[in-house]
Structure formats: structure tokens, C-alpha cells
A and B are shown apart, each in its own frame.
Chain A
Amino acid sequence: MLVFSELLDRLIYTRSRNGKLTLIVQYLQLAPDPDRGWVLAALSGELEFPTVKISAVRKMVAERVDEQLYKLSRDFVGDTAETVALIWPEQDIASDTKPPTVDEVVSILMATSRAKAPSILAELMDRLDSNGRFALLKFATGAMRIGVSARLAKTAFAKAFDMEVEDVEEVWHALKPPYRELFDWAEGKSDKPDLSGIPFFRPFMLAHPLEERTVDLKDYAAEWKWDGIRIQLSHANGETRLYSRGGDDITAAFPEVATGFDRDGVVDGELLVRGEFQGGEAASFNALQQRLGRKKVSAKMMAEYPAFVRLYDILFEQEIDLREQSWMDRRNSLETFVPKLNDQFFDISTLLEAKDFDDLAQIRKGARSAAIEGVMLKRKDSPYIAGRKTGLWYKWKRDPLVADCVMMYAQRGSGKRSSFYSDYTFGCWTDDGELYPVGKAYSGFTDEELKMLDRFVRQNTIDRFGPVREVEKTLVFEVAFDSIHESKRHKSGLAMRFPRISRIRTDKPAEEADHVATLKAMVT
């Protein structure tokens, strides 16, 4: 537990992704089995002790600490686990008491009942120092909140053993903590784990931005790029799993889709919501967002935001791996596969018929549907390859929308940018001549421009609200964004998708920036 608590502490104070990655890599290389497997599970959010809840922690502390002293401390610290770890009265630890290992903690917590959890946990607390107690409580209650995603944990694993993260992801979901088979395979002690008969995640094939290239449509097929979320459906032995881009299991958020997919195989597509205002057509990303990030979903949500999947590739049909086949052959298989599925939840992404590239450019320009984000180009003879390989798939996004906005507030960035005001809130004019914030951006400018913007903020600050500075409303940004939606959360009633600073318009007076009404007209 000591090594783990040190890792946890360092992760908390390390801001950069690479820094976190290095710390986890070192831990995975050096820590013993099965401790490192349990920790990997905790970091990737896959460890759960059903009988140990935060209420057990509260009960436990009530036995040892005066209630009022605890409450005053909790109010100040703001986090239950940290308060309890710090306030825990230290025992004179006998010299022969050893701090528990991670594995010991796991077996003790797995075996406990709800009723016994507080006293079992207290015994463990007595064997640890304050950092150890903090780590124990975070580990036991599963709420780590240390800025490490499941994807980062997997990437660290791959890096620690010199593997490709796609290979790790492929077997990941079929294995259970502490992933003994995974470590054995990674260290060359055994073969790749056998996964037949279980639904699991296969890494996605990804696309490059087309940018200034053109392609010959003899070699490439074109289809719409849908503005939903990329998902994979995997079905085997009567069980379906839904995976997001990062390989996270999101089955629980879309149970109706999972149940609707009842054939053995693995398919790739876009998860969308059917919009009632579009005559049953796919709705904007905004509508889909209502259903994302939920652990459970109500019948009402399912009825109001009916989800479906627009399929565009097939990786497995029954047990047969189609990934080595050409896109063309897979497309043929997909076209016979989709009609066998429930059409309430599944349809096929149709191909775009274009004479040539210029014609396609015209079609792309004419796209009006809220659910279209651009055009995809897929090489007809290409196999399905995990990751992003040049020349096979391209995404050709719709030209971004732009608006001229005025900088209103600025905040410092983090990491290397912590001394720079690099996050900007900008606004547009109302008809009454007031500026309403319409978005926030922290990218799109060069390092030189950042220095200039930082100087501007410092020299034009008119007020401070904690870390936020309000500036003189004189600097105009041209802001580019993929789309804009109605939002109740903002005063302007608008929310931009992927806003970034495309140009700094020092030449433009603030009064000539755009109006909120102009932006409202762009809403999809």
C-alpha cells in the first residue's frame, strides 16, 4: 500500500499527461504481482467493492473522532476521504505491524459484509500513515478523481511493456482484475489470452484530416461523417457490449440498443439520437448529449431521446474475422448483415454518389442536416487496421463557422501555460449594446500570439474574480467553431462546439464584432 500511496500522491500533483504516464509506467514495471494488477484496475475505474461505500467511511470515523470536530474539519477540507485520512488518530504502531499490501486490502474488502465494513476498514487504517490512509480510502471507495482516464492507464500499461495500446485494448475488456494473464503475456511468460466466446472491444480504425489533399474517387468511397459518437457493438454468446471511442463500456447508458443487437458479430458505427423535429431523422449532437455519461437511463429518457446506430463497418460476422478483407468486401457483408437487424435501432450509412472529387465538394457544401459533420473518404481496398494509418481513411469536416467576438475574461492555463493567461471567454453584442459571453477557447494561436495575448490581459485588466481577470472590451477574435447549439446554461442561450481562436483581429474595432442574433441564426 505504501508504494501505491506514493504513486497516488505524485499523480495528484503532476499536471501533465506525460508526467502522469511516466509515473504509472514506472509503477507497473516495478510493483509486485498481483498488487500492480489491482492498482491498474483502480486507475482504470474497474475495481469495485460492493459492500464498502462512503457511508462506511463516515460510520468508521464517527467511532473514533468527535462528531463536531469531524464536521468542522470536513467543511474546511471539502473531501470526505481526505478529511478522514488526515483526522484519523494515529496509533502507536507496534514495530512488528506491517502496512497491508494492496492484495491484502483487496481480499479483506472483497470478503467483508456491509455491516462489518466500517470496523474492517478501521483496522486497516490503524496500520497506515496519513498518505497510506488517503490511498486506502480512495482505493476502497473507488472515487479516485486524479485525472487519470482508463485510456491513460491502458496506454501506460502498453508503454511499460513496449506494446501497442491497441493490442492491449483488444484483450483488456475480456479480462478481469488483477489481469494476471495480461501481465504474463506482456512479460512473455505466456501466450496471448484466449478470448473466444466473449464479447470484447476491438480497437477502432481512425481517420486523418484530409486538409489540402484531394483523392481519386476511383480508389475511395465517400459517405457522410455523422455527428454522433463512434461506437462498437460486440455480441457473443447472447451478450452485447457497447464500447465508446476510448474503449469504455457504455452498455448501461443505451440498454435498448444493446438488447436490439442480437446477432453474433462486431460492428462499427455512429450512435445518434432520432430527433422528433427532423421527421425522425438523426438529430444534432446536442440531443445525443442528454444521454451521454449516464450510468442508468430512465424510460422517459429513452422515449424522449431515442437512440439508434448508423452502421458503417463490420469487423466480425459470427466468429469470422473480416478485418483483413478489403473495405469493399466488408461493405458487401455489412449490406447483407444490417437488414437482419431490428430497424428501430440500426440502419446503414449510405454511400455518397459523386462523379468526381469536385462533385463531392459540391455535395459536401450542400449538406444541411444537423447530424452531418462532413464527409468520410475510405480507401476501397484497405483492410480494417487499428489506429490511424496514413492514406486509408480521411475525414473531411464541414468548413467551420466563424464569428468575430470580443475578449471579456481571461484565466491562466495549467502546466507549461500556468504563467500565461491562455483561456479566454469571449462575447457578442446584444441588440441593447451589451456583451454576452458566447464561448471559451484556449487554442488556435501560436506561441508568439499567446505572449501578445498574455500581455494584453495584464495591461488591460479592469477587475479580478479569484483567478479570473476581466479585461477592457477592446480585442476582437475571429472564433472558428464546428457548430452552435441552444443552451440553457449560458446567458446568451448559446453553446459552441469546438471553439478555437482562428485569427486575432487587432484591426477590428470591438463595436464591429458580431451580434448574438447573428449567431442564433447559425444554430442547428
Chain B
Amino acid sequence: MSSNSHWIEPHPHGIFVKPAKAWIDPMRPVENALVTHGHADHARGGHENVWATPETLAIMNLRYGIDLGNPVPFGSGIEMGGVKISYHSAGHVLGSAQILMEYQGEKVVATGDYKRRHDPTCAPFEVLQCDIFITEATFGLPVFRHPPTSEEIAKLLEVKKGNPDRCVLVGAYALGKAQRVIGEFREAGYNDPIYLHGALEKMCNLYSELGVQLGDIRPVLETPKEDMRGQIVLAPPSALNDRWSRRLPDPVTAMASGWMRVRQRARQRNVELPIIMSDHADWDELTQTIAEVAPSETWVTHGREDALVRWCGLNQMKAKALSMIGREEEDD
């Protein structure tokens, strides 16, 4: 693949930083991995050396039991093979980072995944000036505009109020989304217990250990069915329509995800109450970010690259799509 920057090579299974002999978010085991955040489509096990934020390393440790790794806190830098590398907040999930690299006077930023709006469970996105901006495009279509989060939380609370005999079951991914949903409830002034599917407990506990306050959270397992009426329950999406949900009193099935913006997607999931809430930038945030960063070139990766490249073209900005594999499976 041709590029201005001879020292950064996009490959289907990761981005290679040549002089540093290191890969960004590699999908296969490598010697040196620079990992942006803990989701499985970015952080894999099996690398010899990992550089990531302390929070990301803690998450990887919990998921893969890897107790190795070189912590790089936000703002601090390292140098590898003449490349100055630093990690900066991406606002996606706890510990998620953009990686800024500088080599021979040229600056490149790889965003990993990011969002621009407020999230009570992680630090906000930082705008970094650079020459080449490698952006994600999970929601890179102009139909994706996430509504204000407070409206979506209010919708959930209203349904909960209107159904005192049922419980509201919210599908949310285990890393990031689940904790954010809890955090958003707390910010909205909801302080009652929130019940958790077993698969969410460990990650919520880790967030608490890392200083993110989630309030009164309890396992579903120990709670009698009758006591769950009128309560809020969180579960991974795969459990929404599974046998597990039979233990709940007539749940209203909700799902918190950016895909819920498209009705047919929500219906396919058997969702009664779609909650449009994403940890990825929506179309407006993506285009706003490219405009603010104002790089001389934008590279678009995992997601719907074509539309964002088209938008750059319409706005006289240079852009190209990278085809990378295996992304956007887990963390919408």
C-alpha cells in the first residue's frame, strides 16, 4: 500500500510502525504490540511485549491473565527505534488511548476507537494535531447520529416507572458499555441497586478497583425473582433472549447500542426498547473530529470506510480507506 509515510505500514492484521518494530493493535501474536484499549478486536493475547495504559493492561490481565506489559500513562512518552510514542485519552472505554507517533518531524495519530461525548466512566477525547490521522469509522454513515445520552436514560427510567410488575433488562457489552450505562444512571440521580448478569460482574469490579464509582450493584443470581420486579438488570446481549432471562419477571428487553438507531437492527435482536447509546463516535463526531484535527491526510479503518472517505473528498481533504480485518465485533 502506497503512502506518504514510508515508516507506517497498514496491514490487514494491524498497523506496523517500521522503525520501532512494533505493531498497533495486532490481530496475531507479535513481538512488540502497542495496544489502544482492552476490547478483543484490539487487544489480543500472546504478544511478547505489550505497551498500553495501566487501565488497559489491567483489563487485559483480567481477560487473558497476562501479567506482563509496560504501562504508559496518558501524556507520558516512550521512544522506540527513534520514534517518539505517547498515549492520549480516546474517550472510548476506561483506559482507551490514541497513540501519537512522531518520526523525522512527521506526526501520526492512530485513534483506536473513540467518542466525543461525555462518559462518566472514562477520560474525554483529546484533540491532537497531526499530519496523518488514522480514524475508526464504526458508525461512518450519515444515518448514524446518536441522540443525547440523557434522553435515552430518561426513556429507560420512564419505562421502568410504567412497568412496576416487570423488570427492565438492558443488553450491554461487558467491557465499557455496561459500566457506562450504570454510570449514566447514577448521573441521572438513580441510586437504587442495579442487578448484574454474572458475566458482567468481574469487569464492573475491576472498574470499581480502578476508581470508577458504580454505586450499589448486585448479582442477579442471589436475588429471588419476586424482588426483581420494577428493577433494572444488565446482561450481555447474548443473554437477552436466552434461557438465563427466564429467571426474570416478564422483562422489558432493552439494548444499549449505536446500532439501535436502525429499526430493523433492533427488531432482529428482538428488542422492545432500543437505547441508542454508543462508545463510538457517530457521523457528526467523526466529521467534526477530522475537521478539528485538520490532518494533511486521513486514513479510515474498521467500519464503513467508504462514506467517510467520500465525505473527506467532498470537503477537499485527502483520505483513503485501509482494509483491516476482524474489527467491530464486540464493542459497539
Q: Are both chains from one complex? A: yes
Give residues in A with beta carbon < 8 Å to B.
12-15, 65-66, 68-69, 72-73, 76-79, 82-83, 86-87, 130, 134, 412, 414, 418-419, 458
Cβ-defined contact, B304 with A87, below 8 A: no
Q: Confirm or deny: B218 has a beta carbon within 8 angstroms of a beta carbon on chain A.
A: no
Q: Which of B104-112, B203-211, B219-227, B261-269 contacts A (4 or more CB under 8 A)?
A: B261-269
CA distance A83 to B264 in the complex (A): 11
CA distance A72 to B263 in the complex (A): 17
CB-contact partner of B307 in A69, A412, A414, A418, under 8 A: A69
Cβ-defined contact, B307 with A72, below 8 A: yes
CB-contact partner of A14 in B145, B264, B272, under 8 A: B272
Contacts of A12 in B (CB 8 A): 263, 267
Chain B, 123-159, contact with A by CB distance < 8 Å: what is the 0/1 string? 0000000000000000001111100000000000000
CA distance A119 to B261 in the complex (A): 26
CB-contact partner of A77 in B262, B271, B272, B306, under 8 A: B262
Shortest CB-to-CB span from B106 to chain A, Å, is: 31
Contacts of A69 in B (CB 8 A): 141-142, 307, 310-311
Cβ-defined contact, A13 with B143, below 8 A: no
Q: Which of B17-25, B183-191, B238-246 contacts A (4 or more CB under 8 A)?
A: B238-246
Contacts of A68 in B (CB 8 A): 307, 310
Q: Confirm or deny: B314 has a beta carbon within 8 angstroms of a beta carbon on chain A.
A: yes
Q: Which of B141, B262, B274 has the most CB of A within 10 A?
A: B141
Closest chain A residue to B310, Cβ basis:
A68
CA distance A242 to B245 in the complex (A): 47
Closest chain B residue to A134, Cβ basis:
B263
Shortest CB-to-CB span from B173 to chain A, Å, is: 20
Known A-B contacts A72-B307, A412-B241; the reply to A66 vs B314 at CB < 8 A is yes
Known A-B contacts A14-B272, A69-B311; the reply to A86 vs B243 at CB < 8 A is no
Scan residues 253-289 of chain B and give those whose CB is less than 8 A from a CB of chain A. Answer: 261-264, 266-267, 270-274
Cβ-defined contact, A13 with B264, below 8 A: no
Cβ-defined contact, B241 with A419, below 8 A: yes
Contacts of A66 in B (CB 8 A): 310, 314
CA distance A418 to B271 in the complex (A): 11
Shortest CB-to-CB span from B232 to chain A, Å, is: 18
Closest chain B residue to A12, Cβ basis:
B263
Cβ-defined contact, B143 with A414, below 8 A: no
Chain B, 228-250, contact with A by CB distance < 8 Å: what is the 0/1 string? 00000000000001110110000
Give residues in B with beta carbon < 8 Å to A.
141-145, 241-243, 245-246, 261-264, 266-267, 270-274, 304, 306-307, 310-311, 314
Contacts of B246 in A (CB 8 A): 419
Instruction: Please name 28 pairs of A and B residues whose Cβ atoms are closer than 8 Å in the assembled complex, sorted by A.
Output: A12-B267, A13-B266, A13-B271, A13-B273, A13-B274, A14-B272, A15-B272, A65-B142, A66-B314, A68-B307, A69-B142, A72-B307, A73-B143, A76-B141, A76-B262, A76-B304, A77-B143, A77-B264, A78-B264, A79-B263, A82-B263, A86-B143, A86-B261, A87-B143, A412-B241, A414-B270, A418-B241, A419-B243
Cβ-defined contact, A76 with B143, below 8 A: yes
Contacts of B310 in A (CB 8 A): 66, 68-69, 72
Contacts of B271 in A (CB 8 A): 13
Contacts of A87 in B (CB 8 A): 142-143
Closest 3 pairs between A and B when the two form their complex, measured CB to CB:
A86-B143, A73-B143, A72-B307
CA distance A72 to B142 in the complex (A): 9
Q: Which of B142, B246, B261 has the most CB of A within 10 A?
A: B142
CA distance A240 to B314 in the complex (A): 59
CA distance A79 to B267 in the complex (A): 13
Closest chain A residue to B254, Cβ basis:
A13
CA distance A12 to B261 in the complex (A): 13
Closest chain A residue to B140, Cβ basis:
A72
Contacts of A414 in B (CB 8 A): 270
CA distance A463 to B311 in the complex (A): 42
Contacts of B307 in A (CB 8 A): 68-69, 72-73
Closest chain B residue to A417, Cβ basis:
B241
Known A-B contacts A15-B272, A79-B264, A82-B263; the reply to A73 vs B141 at CB < 8 A is yes
Closest chain A residue to B245, Cβ basis:
A419
